[in-house]
Amino acid sequence: MDLKRLKYFCKVVEQGSISQAARALNMAQPPLSKRIQELEDELNAPLFMRNGNRLETTEAGYYLYRKACDILRQIEDTARETTLLSNRETKVLKVGLTHLFQRYFKPLLLELHRRNPDAELHISVLDSSYLESHLNEGLIDVALIQKPRKFEGFDCITFPPIPVVAVISNKLLAEAPVSPFPYLALSQFPLVLLHRAKDAGTDEILLDHFHKGGKHPNVIMHITQPEAILDWIESGLAAATLLPASEVDASKLSHSYVVEVFPSPMVFFPALVKTPVTPYTQEMMEIIQEGYPFQK
């Protein structure tokens, strides 16, 4: 059904005659009469009946008029909203950020904002496992997370692995330990390990390194956020933990020792992840291609 014919039809109904509608539309009367006849032929239904000098709609014509008004109104609204959307200066970027690498990816997101001040960043800070689900559900465009164990269904850009450091409560040692600290020697302390909310995570890999060395550490807690683990140890929890070096600022810890470990397991792999159907965020890719992570 031709939209222009519907528009002409509605104008005839509103004006009550072909001649008045033609004047309102700034067109000649014969072409307008022809368009109305074509519409009636297409529908195989009379739309008007003459009452003196005035045209009145048939029952079918009145039904079509009400429907046509709704259709034309929706088209106008859609066109207006599309124009407004295309002219919006604000671009929304939906990014997922894992708790595991908040400090690691902070410079990337701050630089993204600095270069694109008109863009609106929607950042969801969650566990990597939940962010993988958010990607599949289309709730975020890209995720900055631990590299997925299974790549099926994802496009992935990996960054260099982050070394492991040990954070040890000063309640467990009388003086600062020598760095690097033997990895297996950490089994003597109560441990708090990072734990992925769903499925296997880095804690299982770290424990596997102990078990292969013949050690069976006492793990007293599993926590999903590095910041929470550090806060608890700083608050007096007599324990040690193993974290990505990027997430630990020794200068801000007053009641803990921070040491490198040897050998350092390759466990923490930050990555940019998206689904194949979602395009890479160009603004973010430009920063990465210039050499992220930035050299200090």
Locate the domains of the chain by residue range.
Answer: 3-86, 92-160+270-289, 164-262
Output the pLDDT for position 197: 78
CATH of domain 164-262: 3.40.190.10
Which pLDDT score is estimated for 243? 97
Predicted confidence pLDDT, tens digits, the chain (296 residues): 788 888 998 989 888 888 998 998 899 999 999 999 998 999 999 998 888 778 889 999 889 998 988 888 888 878 877 776 666 556 788 999 999 999 999 999 999 999 988 888 999 999 998 999 999 898 999 999 999 887 778 899 999 999 999 999 999 998 999 999 999 999 999 999 998 877 778 899 999 999 999 999 999 999 999 999 999 999 999 999 999 999 999 999 999 999 999 999 999 999 999 998 888 888 899 999 998 888 76
Q: Give the largest CA-CA distance in the chain.
A: 108
Give the pLDDT score at 167: 98
Q: How many CB atoms within 10 Å of residue 76?
A: 10
Which residues partner with 168 through β-bridges?
240, 257
Q: What pLDDT does residue 50 have? A: 83
- Do 3-86 and 164-262 have matching folds? no
Per-residue pLDDT of 139-153, as tens digits, reads 999 999 999 887 778
Element (H, E) at 146: strand 142-146
In terms of pTM, does the model score above 0.85? no
What CATH code is assigned to 3-86? Answer: 1.10.10.10
CB 101 within 8 Å of CB 144: yes
Domain 92-160+270-289 = CATH 3.40.50.1360 = no
Cβ atoms within 10 A of the Cβ of 22, count?
20
Please choose, from the candidates 281, 291, 272, the residue with its C-alpha nearest in 3D space to the C-alpha of residue 132.
272
